[in-house]
Amino acid sequence: MKVVIVGGVAGGASAAARIRRLDERAEIVVFERSGHVSYANCGLPYYIGGEIEQESALTLQTPASFRARFQIDVRVRHEVLAIDRSRKVVSVRNLETGEMAEEAYDKLILSPGARPIAPDLPGIGSSRLFTLRTVEDAARIRRYVEQRRPRTATVIGGGFIGLEMAENLARRGARVTIVEKMRQLLSPLDEDMASFVHAKFLKEGVRLALGSAVTGFEEKGEEILTHMDNREAIAGDMVILAIGVAPDSHLAKEAGLELGAAGAIAVDAHMRTSDADIYAVGDAVQCKNGATGQMARIALAGPANKQGRVAADNICGIQSIYRASWGSSVVKLFDMTAAATGINERAARQAGLVYDKVVLSPANHASYYPGGKVMTMKVLYEKGSLRILGAQIVGFDGVDKRIDVLATAMQAGMRATDLKELDLAYAPPYSSAKDPVNMAGFMIENLESGKVKQFHYADLAQLPREKVTLLDTRTPAEVAAGSPEGFLHIPVDALRDRLEELDRSKPVYVMCQSGLRSYIACRILAQHGYDCYNFSGGYRFYESIRNNTFEENVNTPCGLTVEPGKR
């Protein structure tokens, strides 16, 4: 059996190695158009920033190491230009010599990945404008940074690559501006959770131009101007274009293979395309979204590696399937971490799901142990079934642990209320006896059992103030540092003695710093005959959303936020 693989890196390289482990006699040929067959593309921004010092550290396997260990024929700098399905051959160009050749196959695996989106805009071909996909791209950007030492840089796009590049350029000493068409950074997060990310980047001196679409680029002297549709142009010494990726599916399309979501290659659970002898894996394919059941394109390294293994299994006669992707992701943002799994509220609404959510702000470990830091968690679940739909966490230490626990629970089919029963490791430096994941389960159980009702930030503007009581149950010191408008202040520990100050005929909407004391207040009030609602996320969450910098002026001095309430 001869297997030809188009593209290396995550999906193609893992498929090649797996086939060899299963079939010692198979002939395996891998074509990779870049100069590296297996490299850590998720590490490229950190190589540019200097955290990864040597380019060689990015290389996981070389053609020579593949040959030595697996007897796999790897040909880098070779681009597959066409597939002849009737003859079962691919046309290949040697990018070093220009020579054309054909290669026959019994089975073909397509792992072309995704290409950076580069819209047809004026000035897109500027030598000061860069995209990042390969080791060669990273080396070119790093050389430019080290030789030119840019004082200013503009990053177009607020996704993973854009934010990682912004951080690493800032660490190199550049004053960075992020331009993003959406009104928020990091689309896997909802706007309320993204508000913490906005504040972090502003604190680190990165300016934000959110809700702005780029209309073109213009070289002016030693700078490149980024023109936008709704604000003045931004001048920079360089531009990183990171507005997203598109599936590199043109080979499949030209060969007549079926395409699916967002132009990605359609495959079945065995990673087979519409041609039984052609498989496809990685960023170029569609797969089932585990939370919604709908077909989607989820371009992440973890799914690509697993899909490569599944394709290899089936080629070698093992009935292996790839069930779904849940889109679990984590990203370092200076000393902050943001993570998500499953879907957010926007996606839940688009899928027509009836859901509820809890927001909590637990510490990463026991509060009495030194060095604890707060994280903000949001967990979404489906009403009725209590199926976990997704989670988002922004914080510092311990974020990655909790998102992985939630991803595992979700994929295992646990109900949201089952989170309270998870037996998770505890020691004061690492967690609390009631882990944040357990706390989310307790909160969901309280909601579903009717022990508490809640309200959210978006509800505040709709409340008829004259017909309700707004109650702040924090301490006097906390209130002095900032308080929500129109709230009566009664500390929770004094509430039982001051119940007469509350009108029993009016619903009471309660807030505290994190949501815990206001929950206690609601339990007190409910048992004294009051109709009570707990604010989801507490004042800390309220303040972050209220101060959100959707309309941050890029001319604001670096590190300063806009005035409270500006939206």
Average the pLDDT over 477-488 and give the result: 95
* pLDDT of the residue at 554: 45
- In whole angstroms, what is the distance from residue 405 CA to residue 504 CA? 42
* pLDDT of the residue at 566: 32
pLDDT tens per residue, range 184-231: 999 999 999 999 999 999 999 999 999 999 999 999 999 999 999 999
Identify the DSSP state of 122: T
Order of strands, sheet of 214-220, starting from the edge strand that comes earlier in the sequence: 214-220, 223-228, 234-236
Helix (H) or strand (E) segment spanning residue 270 = none
What are the C-alpha distances in Å from 332 to residues 14, 45, 180, 335, 437?
A: 26, 11, 19, 7, 21
Where helices occur in 151-232 by DSSP H, the ranges are 160-171, 191-203
* pLDDT of the residue at 549: 53
pLDDT band at 462 (very low <50, low <70, confident <90, very high): very high
Identify the DSSP state of 30: E
For the entire predicted model, the pTM comes to 0.93
Q: Does residue 441 surpass a pLDDT of 70?
A: yes
* pLDDT of the residue at 334: 96
Nearest to 410 by CA among 492, 482, 330, 328: 328
Which active-site residues does the annotation give? 42
pLDDT tens per residue, range 154-177: 999 999 999 999 999 999 999 999
- List, in order, residues 6 or more apart from 229 with CB less than 8 Å away: 212, 213, 214, 215
Average the pLDDT over 310-332 and give the result: 97
Average the pLDDT over 291-300 and give the result: 91
Q: Which residue has the higher pLDDT, 266 or 558?
A: 266
* pLDDT of the residue at 553: 43
Nearest to 457 by CA among 527, 354, 376: 376
- List, in order, residues 6 or more apart from 187 with CB less than 8 Å away: 158, 159
Q: Which residue has the higher pLDDT, 38 or 400?
A: 400
pLDDT tens per residue, range 57-71: 887 788 899 899 999
pLDDT tens per residue, range 240-289: 999 988 999 999 999 999 999 889 999 999 999 999 999 999 999 999 99
Name the phi and psi angles at 100, rounded to 5.
Answer: -100, 145
Using CA atoms in the order 532, 538, 542, 543, what is the torsion angle rounded to 10 degrees?
140
Q: Does residue 316 surpass a pLDDT of 70?
A: yes
Q: Does residue 179 surpass a pLDDT of 60?
A: yes
* pLDDT of the residue at 41: 78
pLDDT tens per residue, range 116-150: 888 999 999 999 999 998 889 999 999 999 999 99
Which residues make beta-bridge pairs with 481?
none
Tokens of 417: 């209320």
Q: Does residue 559 surpass a pLDDT of 50?
A: no
Summary mean pLDDT of the chain: 93
* pLDDT of the residue at 164: 96
Where helices occur in 424-515 by DSSP H, the ranges are 436-449, 457-460, 476-480
Q: Does residue 567 surpass a pLDDT of 70?
A: no
- In whole angstroms, what is the distance from residue 349 CA to residue 440 CA? 21
Q: Does residue 556 surpass a pLDDT of 80?
A: no
What are the C-alpha distances in Å from 293 to residues 199, 250, 321, 386, 414?
A: 34, 26, 16, 16, 17
pLDDT band at 336 (very low <50, low <70, confident <90, very high): very high
Average the pLDDT over 397-420 and give the result: 97
- In whole angstroms, what is the distance from residue 306 CA to residue 238 CA? 37
Q: Does residue 550 surpass a pLDDT of 70?
A: no
What are the C-alpha distances in Å from 542 to residues 142, 202, 482?
A: 40, 18, 11
Residues of the chain above pLDDT 90, percent: 88
pLDDT band at 551 (very low <50, low <70, confident <90, very high): very low
